[in-house]
Amino acid sequence: MPAGTTLLDLIELAFAIAGSGLVAGVLAGLFGVGGGAVLVPVFYWAFGLAGIDDAVRMHVSVATSTGIILPTAIRSFMAHKAKGVVDMDLLRGWVLAIPAGVIAATATAASLSSEGLRIVFAVIALVFALRMLFNRASWRLGDDLPGQPWRAIVGVVIGFLSTLMGIGGGVLNNTFMALYGRPMHQAVATSSGVGALIAVPGTIGFMIAGLGVSGLPPLSIGFVNLLGVAIVVPITLLTAPYGVRLAHAWPKRRLEIAFGVFLILVSANFFVTLLR
């Protein structure tokens, strides 16, 4: 930690990270996201509280969020799969495509500034929030998901943009599947599997991309902070199933509206940081 950091600062940081884990775990199950849409802004604030260099703070936030996606996504995926609503054919078709996009994104993130990463996060979140809030049944590109090679191209794009945001792919995959007439509950369930495809190459990529970078917080491998992962992972594993229960209990439109409002709040938070 930076010079002058007290034990109280460390305790406050740990509590902030733990609190974000509680919320992120529920949202991971509810919206099929890996929790990154919550974790990234909270990590950004928490690492700032700890005095981490602004030049790397967003990179560490995104990378650490990516490191947390895997156990959360798998926990959500197994719960959704037990209910029989996951599109396994779509996931099998993305086994190579999504990781390809993820690898490209980790290389790109290393060359972007903190401001650049925040702009990416805020803009994508806002676009998809508006789509969810003003969704109409007529907003469709087709009655079934496209075949290859378009399906693979979509997988690469989802992997690329999701990794730049430090999220599990739920935001993008939910929209993609909805535009082709798939039920929101199936999209949410399938998104948990997308998160697993993003997390492994994303975490490894961010570790490599951040090697040798100065200003990183202690207990980090590259851009991935192990303290954040260690605190949040067990909390999200316990709370994700509660979100899954809510997802299957809520009507489709209520789920869409809740998702849209949530994304607008997240986007607004990052636009505010860009104005400071």
Say yes or no to pLDDT of 195 above 90.
no
pLDDT tens per residue, range 112-146: 888 888 888 888 888 878 877 886 666 677 777 88
Say yes or no to pLDDT of 35 above 70.
no
Domain ranges of the chain: 7-275
Task: Give 188 or 101, the one with higher predicted confidence.
Answer: 101
Amino acid at 108: T
pLDDT at residue 102, as a whole number? 94
CA distance 129 to 123: 10
Nearest to 269, CA basis, from 75, 39, 86, 81: 39
pTM, entire model: 0.78
CA distance 223 to 203: 9
pLDDT at residue 101, as a whole number? 95
CA distance 231 to 121: 24
Beta bridge partners of 62: none
CA distance 174 to 226: 29
pLDDT at residue 55, as a whole number? 87
pLDDT tens per residue, range 141-194: 777 788 888 889 999 999 999 888 887 777 788 888 888 878 777 887 888 888
Region 189-204: mean pLDDT is 87
pLDDT at residue 155, as a whole number? 93
Region 33-39: mean pLDDT is 67
How high is the mean pLDDT of the chain?
81
